[in-house]
Amino acid sequence: MIEDHFQIARQLRRLSSNLLERAVIHAHNFDLGVTEVRAIEQLFVTGSMTAKELGQSLALTSGSVTALVNRLVQNGLVDRSVDSNDRRKVKITIVPDQIPRLSAPYMLYIPEFLERAKKYSKAERQTVIQFLTDYAEASTTATQKISQVLPDNRSDVKLT
Protein backbone atom coordinates (compact mmCIF):
# COMPACT_ATOMS: atom_id res chain seq x y z
CA MET A 1 0.00 0.00 0.00
CA ILE A 2 2.83 2.44 0.80
CA GLU A 3 4.39 1.69 -2.61
CA ASP A 4 1.08 2.66 -4.25
CA HIS A 5 1.18 5.93 -2.34
CA PHE A 6 4.71 6.64 -3.60
CA GLN A 7 3.76 5.80 -7.19
CA ILE A 8 0.77 8.11 -6.97
CA ALA A 9 2.86 10.84 -5.35
CA ARG A 10 5.49 10.55 -8.10
CA GLN A 11 2.87 10.93 -10.84
CA LEU A 12 1.17 13.83 -9.09
CA ARG A 13 4.52 15.59 -8.65
CA ARG A 14 5.28 14.96 -12.32
CA LEU A 15 1.90 16.42 -13.26
CA SER A 16 2.37 19.34 -10.88
CA SER A 17 5.79 20.14 -12.37
CA ASN A 18 4.36 19.96 -15.87
CA LEU A 19 1.49 22.29 -14.98
CA LEU A 20 3.94 24.77 -13.48
CA GLU A 21 6.15 24.60 -16.58
CA ARG A 22 3.10 25.25 -18.73
CA ALA A 23 2.14 28.21 -16.52
CA VAL A 24 5.63 29.67 -17.05
CA ILE A 25 5.20 29.34 -20.83
CA HIS A 26 1.77 30.99 -20.69
CA ALA A 27 3.06 33.72 -18.38
CA HIS A 28 5.73 34.60 -20.93
CA ASN A 29 3.18 34.47 -23.77
CA PHE A 30 0.72 36.76 -21.96
CA ASP A 31 3.41 38.99 -20.39
CA LEU A 32 2.17 38.08 -16.92
CA GLY A 33 3.63 36.52 -13.82
CA VAL A 34 3.25 32.81 -13.12
CA THR A 35 0.94 33.50 -10.17
CA GLU A 36 -1.35 35.60 -12.38
CA VAL A 37 -1.52 32.73 -14.88
CA ARG A 38 -2.22 30.20 -12.11
CA ALA A 39 -5.05 32.45 -10.87
CA ILE A 40 -6.54 32.73 -14.36
CA GLU A 41 -6.30 28.95 -14.80
CA GLN A 42 -8.03 28.43 -11.46
CA LEU A 43 -10.81 30.82 -12.43
CA PHE A 44 -11.23 29.01 -15.77
CA VAL A 45 -11.70 25.62 -14.15
CA THR A 46 -13.67 26.81 -11.11
CA GLY A 47 -15.56 29.84 -12.31
CA SER A 48 -16.13 32.87 -10.09
CA MET A 49 -14.44 32.71 -6.71
CA THR A 50 -14.07 34.92 -3.68
CA ALA A 51 -10.61 36.28 -2.97
CA LYS A 52 -10.40 33.93 0.00
CA GLU A 53 -11.26 30.90 -2.15
CA LEU A 54 -8.76 31.97 -4.80
CA GLY A 55 -6.07 32.45 -2.17
CA GLN A 56 -6.72 29.03 -0.66
CA SER A 57 -6.58 27.36 -4.07
CA LEU A 58 -3.21 28.99 -4.79
CA ALA A 59 -1.84 28.76 -1.22
CA LEU A 60 -1.45 32.53 -0.94
CA THR A 61 -1.79 34.85 2.03
CA SER A 62 -4.70 37.31 2.05
CA GLY A 63 -2.32 40.21 1.35
CA SER A 64 -0.82 38.39 -1.62
CA VAL A 65 -4.29 37.65 -3.01
CA THR A 66 -5.31 41.28 -2.71
CA ALA A 67 -2.21 42.38 -4.63
CA LEU A 68 -2.74 39.61 -7.21
CA VAL A 69 -6.39 40.52 -7.83
CA ASN A 70 -5.47 44.21 -8.04
CA ARG A 71 -2.90 43.41 -10.76
CA LEU A 72 -5.41 41.29 -12.67
CA VAL A 73 -8.06 44.02 -12.45
CA GLN A 74 -5.55 46.68 -13.56
CA ASN A 75 -4.65 44.50 -16.57
CA GLY A 76 -8.34 44.20 -17.46
CA LEU A 77 -8.33 40.42 -17.02
CA VAL A 78 -10.76 40.01 -14.13
CA ASP A 79 -13.66 41.88 -12.57
CA ARG A 80 -14.74 42.15 -8.99
CA SER A 81 -18.48 41.98 -8.34
CA VAL A 82 -20.65 41.74 -5.26
CA ASP A 83 -22.08 38.25 -4.70
CA SER A 84 -25.82 38.39 -5.36
CA ASN A 85 -26.46 35.92 -2.49
CA ASP A 86 -24.25 37.61 0.10
CA ARG A 87 -23.41 41.28 -0.40
CA ARG A 88 -20.45 40.97 1.99
CA LYS A 89 -18.68 38.70 -0.50
CA VAL A 90 -16.91 39.90 -3.61
CA LYS A 91 -16.55 37.48 -6.50
CA ILE A 92 -13.57 37.49 -8.85
CA THR A 93 -14.46 36.58 -12.46
CA ILE A 94 -12.54 36.54 -15.73
CA VAL A 95 -13.64 39.42 -17.98
CA PRO A 96 -15.79 37.74 -20.67
CA ASP A 97 -14.07 39.62 -23.52
CA GLN A 98 -10.71 38.19 -22.38
CA ILE A 99 -11.78 34.53 -22.44
CA PRO A 100 -11.06 33.87 -26.16
CA ARG A 101 -7.56 35.37 -25.93
CA LEU A 102 -6.68 33.71 -22.63
CA SER A 103 -8.10 30.31 -23.50
CA ALA A 104 -6.59 30.02 -27.01
CA PRO A 105 -3.29 28.39 -25.94
CA TYR A 106 -5.14 25.87 -23.77
CA MET A 107 -7.20 24.74 -26.76
CA LEU A 108 -3.96 23.45 -28.29
CA TYR A 109 -3.67 20.58 -25.83
CA ILE A 110 -7.17 19.93 -24.50
CA PRO A 111 -7.89 17.60 -27.46
CA GLU A 112 -4.96 15.39 -26.32
CA PHE A 113 -6.52 15.02 -22.87
CA LEU A 114 -9.93 14.28 -24.32
CA GLU A 115 -8.50 11.67 -26.69
CA ARG A 116 -6.72 9.87 -23.84
CA ALA A 117 -9.80 10.02 -21.64
CA LYS A 118 -11.87 8.20 -24.28
CA LYS A 119 -10.28 4.88 -23.36
CA TYR A 120 -11.94 5.04 -19.92
CA SER A 121 -15.63 4.56 -19.27
CA LYS A 122 -17.63 7.30 -17.61
CA ALA A 123 -17.69 5.19 -14.42
CA GLU A 124 -13.90 4.81 -14.51
CA ARG A 125 -13.43 8.55 -14.99
CA GLN A 126 -15.75 9.20 -12.06
CA THR A 127 -13.68 6.81 -9.94
CA VAL A 128 -10.50 8.68 -10.88
CA ILE A 129 -12.13 12.00 -10.04
CA GLN A 130 -13.32 10.69 -6.68
CA PHE A 131 -9.90 9.20 -5.93
CA LEU A 132 -8.10 12.44 -6.75
CA THR A 133 -10.62 14.38 -4.65
CA ASP A 134 -10.03 12.07 -1.70
CA TYR A 135 -6.27 12.19 -2.20
CA ALA A 136 -6.30 16.01 -2.34
CA GLU A 137 -8.42 16.19 0.82
CA ALA A 138 -6.02 13.83 2.60
CA SER A 139 -3.12 16.03 1.48
CA THR A 140 -4.88 19.15 2.78
CA THR A 141 -5.50 17.47 6.14
CA ALA A 142 -1.86 16.36 6.30
CA THR A 143 -0.68 19.90 5.54
CA GLN A 144 -2.90 21.28 8.32
CA LYS A 145 -1.48 18.73 10.78
CA ILE A 146 2.09 19.54 9.75
CA SER A 147 1.46 23.27 10.13
CA GLN A 148 0.25 22.67 13.70
CA VAL A 149 3.40 20.75 14.60
CA LEU A 150 6.11 22.60 12.69
CA PRO A 151 6.71 26.34 12.84
CA ASP A 152 5.57 28.41 9.88
CA ASN A 153 8.71 30.18 8.75
CA ARG A 154 7.58 31.15 5.25
CA SER A 155 8.38 34.80 5.89
CA ASP A 156 11.99 33.76 6.62
CA VAL A 157 12.42 31.81 3.39
CA LYS A 158 14.81 33.43 0.92
CA LEU A 159 13.93 32.78 -2.73
CA THR A 160 17.35 33.53 -4.22
pLDDT digit string, tens, across residues 37-65 = 999 999 999 999 999 999 999 989 989 99
> What are the structural domains of the chain?
2-97 (1.10.10.10)
What per-residue confidence (pLDDT) applies to 157?
47
Instruction: DSSP letter for 120, please.
Output: S
Report yes or no on whether pTM surpasses 0.75: yes
Q: 93: closest CA among 115, 69, 114?
A: 69
**pLDDT per position as a tens digit, 50-106:** 999 999 999 899 899 999 999 999 999 999 998 788 888 889 999 999 999 999 988
Q: Which helix (H) or strand (E) holds 135?
A: helix 122-149
What pLDDT, on the 0 to 100 scale, is given for residue 106? 87
Sheet holding 78-82, edge to edge: 49-50, 90-94, 78-82
Residue 78 pairs with which residues in a beta bridge?
94
- pLDDT band of residue 149 (cuts 50, 70, 90) is confident
